[in-house]
């Protein structure tokens, strides 16, 4: 882990006790080592014990979630969430882009990229990968959001997930189509 630029986990890793403890221990170690910690609660997060939810949120620096997941993880009060741990919350809004909230109270909205949609499978995970990749590169939040939107847009144009997620060339094509200033 000492060479990792980031640690990422989803709410699905909290579905079993042994995975919950492992995930939390990884996040604790990453925190001690100064490694960025990203967490995507996913739809299963509402089924996680509230104490375990608070533990993982306290260890997460950047939270990536959908509009639908906000009430479970955040409730109505982003300031309460920021007191629990994360310093950045990214809300994925599908074709409508995303919003980035920071602990200092700033909110930035990023428009979606209108592309033909073939399949939304793995679009959120692909978005997450784009955002994490930008952060590892030390990019600004603006560029991370643009990259994440481009990766998500590239994904929905393809069928399936897994090996069918977008390649760097797919993402470059979207970035070029929408004249995004990304160094890919």
Selection from 174, 170, 169, 172 nearest residue 183 by Cα: 172
**Is residue 49 exposed (0-12), middle (13-18) or buried (19+ Cβ within 10 Å)?**
exposed
**pTM score, two decimals?**
0.94
pLDDT digits (tens, 9 = 90+) for 81-136: 888 889 999 999 999 999 999 999 999 999 999 999 999 999 999 999 999 999 99
């Amino acid at each position: 882990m000492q060479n990792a630029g980031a640690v990422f986990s989803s709410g699905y890793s909290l579905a079993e006790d042994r995975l919950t403890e492992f995930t939390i221990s990884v996040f604790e170690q990453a925190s001690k080592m100064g490694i960025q910690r990203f967490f995507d609660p996913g739809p299963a997060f509402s089924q996680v014990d509230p104490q375990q939810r608070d533990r993982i949120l306290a260890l997460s620096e950047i939270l990536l979630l959908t509009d639908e997941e906000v009430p479970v993880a955040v409730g109505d009060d982003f300031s309460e969430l920021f007191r629990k741990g994360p310093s950045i919350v990214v809300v994925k809004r599908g074709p409508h882009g995303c919003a980035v909230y920071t602990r200092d109270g700033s909110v930035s909205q990023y428009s979606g990229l209108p592309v033909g949609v073939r399949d939304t499978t793995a679009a959120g995970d692909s978005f997450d990968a784009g955002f994490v990749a930008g952060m590892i590169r030390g990019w600004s939040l603006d560029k991370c959001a643009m990259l994440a939107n481009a990766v998500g847009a590239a994904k929905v144009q393809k069928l399936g997930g897994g090996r069918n997620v977008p390649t760097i060339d797919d993402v470059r094509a979207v970035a070029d189509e929408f004249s995004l200033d990304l160094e890919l």
